[in-house]
Amino acid sequence: MKEIISVELKAQPCGFSECETDLLVVGQFSDANLLRQVRPLRRSASEASSTARKSDVVSSELDGKLGGAIERLVKLGDFKGKAGNCAVLYGDGRIGAKRVLLIGLGEEKKATLDTVRKAAAQAANKAAAMKVKDVALTLHKPFEKRFDLAKIAHVIAEGAYYGSYSYDEYVTESENGRPSVLEIKLIDPDSERVKKLEKGISSGIIIGRIQSYARTLANRPANVISPAKLAEEAQKVAKSTKGISCTVFDEKQMADMGMGGVLAVGSGSQNRPRFIVLKYAATKEAPAIALVGKAITFDSGGISIKPSANMEQMKLDKSGGIAVLSTIKAVAELGLPLNIYGIIPAAENLPSGSSYRPGDIITTFSGKTVEVQNTDAEGRMILCDAISYAVKQKCEIIIDIATLTGACMVALGQYMAGLMGNDEKLIKQLQAAAEESGEKVWPLPCSEEYAKEMKSKIADLKNVGSKWGGACTGAAFLLQFAGETKWAHLDIAGVDMIEKPTEFSAEGASGFGVRLLTTYLMNIGKGKK
């Protein structure tokens, strides 16, 4: 098995046209005066300085060195600067770079930090496809007057890891010639700016690298990642990462504790369930925050079996749990002054003679009873035990993340996660973190109307509601176990995977939630409200 491509990222003082690299990446807005943006340095130096905007220095300098090649490309209409647009030019010995990659940034007035992140992802994705080994980025230049340079470097690092990632761990052929290491440097001739870029790179590297780790774990199939193997991985993370401890409960211990929800879901598989508890406690003064992640290592639907089409994608039903594991790792490596639990109920949902059945009544860890009406509504059955466990640990905030409902995907498509909860401040904090991290969310209700649908006539609750509003009724079910604790629920069905390759990323697991949750916790660590 080959290693997933490794990224080495640093900031380096270097002139834009002098930098020796396989690929020099330049960002360009799509404003109507695009030609004026690339022309100035072909005039006199004094005239250029009075007409060129500072954000256009790179492209105008390169255009001068390349004899107007960029201008000709723009005139031909082969590069318009629109988001996702790109074009390749060749240095031909006129500049230090062998190639120049122009990346479109879209309209300047609409640009955000996520514009930078996506541009870096596109550049890294293109570099990996071109099989180059060395890349130089100048993507900070168009934004340096609008955003803090350290923050720009942070999102560039995240994007570089995201775009360069592809999962081919089990491909034994090696004809693709892809380099095992991609060296990326952020360049600027000003050493003071380089120092500011360096400040942001380190945190961006941590999050970017760990999101790639999350994508790899999620992409691994069920015959490689079982509940027990996921527990072993969590123990490895705890052992190798300062500040993290890990406790794993097996099926016998869960039976003694009364975790009927997890045990029921895992009852049909020979791969027995596990209940994983990670703890990161950097300070006793901070309130305890629980991250709860659904980890169904494979979901067939159980007795209420799913259609066979695309069932192989159900290896990704562990994505929420892996996001929690990865976020705890990121928080520890960042050294945030927080007190966090990572709670991951792990099970495999398969049909067999020992499976739980529609009609069964399950007593959960909280003592509440649940009538099972559909064994494919298994995520809430394991999460309710985990949320109750977090309440018992006296956590002041609980955030769960799960590929919970196809209904959320129907509502929001593949662009945003559903966000529900019982505390408006917590919801707003997660919305702010989503905006900052580029992992988008949209608020949905889970109020009393939906909770009423989850009442059973023969038990406290049932595990499915009507055919309408499934994302909302699923969240309303989970709310019954949070009690008075501040709680939020992220339904990541639809955003957990990239079905087809894009200009920003290869297909497969997206690692959604790692940037969002880590950003939220970084903001909490900084005291943001």
Cβ-contact 318, 230 below 8 angstroms:
yes
As a whole number, mean pLDDT of residues 270-298 equals 95
pLDDT in tens, 322-359: 999 999 999 999 999 999 999 999 999 999 999 999 99
Distance CA 465, CA 358 (A): 14
Report which secondary-structure segment, H or E, holds 243. none
Instruction: Tell me the residue type at 173.
Output: E
pLDDT in tens, 59-68: 889 999 999 9
Determine the pLDDT at residue 6.
Answer: 83
Determine the pLDDT at residue 36.
Answer: 65
Determine the pLDDT at residue 418.
Answer: 98
Determine the pLDDT at residue 284.
Answer: 78
Q: Work out the angle between the directed axes of helices 191-219 and 149-164 (0-180°, nearest 10).
A: 30
Whether the pLDDT of residue 116 is over 80: the answer is: yes
pLDDT in tens, 228-268: 999 999 999 999 999 999 999 999 999 999 999 999 999 99
Q: Is 306 a catalytic residue?
A: yes
What the block records as the tokens of 363 is 């007593």
pLDDT in tens, 79-95: 999 998 999 999 999 99
Catalytic choice (36, 43, 199, 306) = 306
Cβ-contact 122, 10 below 8 angstroms:
no
SS3 label, residue 371: strand
State how far the alpha carbon of 448 is from the alpha carbons of 338, 407, 428, 491, in Å. 33, 19, 21, 19
Catalytic choice (318, 380, 462, 486) = 380
As a whole number, mean pLDDT of residues 121-132 equals 95
Tell which residue, 214, 174, 225, has the closest CA to residue 322: 214
Cβ-contact 310, 300 below 8 angstroms:
no
pTM of the predicted model as reported, rounded to 2 decimal places: 0.95
Whether the pLDDT of residue 70 is over 80: the answer is: yes
SS3 label, residue 34: helix
Distance CA 288, CA 19 (A): 48
Determine the pLDDT at residue 4.
Answer: 59
Determine the pLDDT at residue 1.
Answer: 38
pLDDT in tens, 190-227: 999 999 999 999 999 999 999 999 999 999 999 999 99
What the block records as the tokens of 314 is 């159900």
Domains of the chain, start order: 6-216 (3.40.220.10), 223-495 (3.40.630.10)
What the block records as the tokens of 526 is 């900084």
Q: H-type helices in 104-226, by residue range? A: 113-130, 149-164, 191-219
Determine the pLDDT at residue 283.
Answer: 84
Determine the pLDDT at residue 54.
Answer: 45
Determine the pLDDT at residue 526.
Answer: 87
Determine the pLDDT at residue 483.
Answer: 94
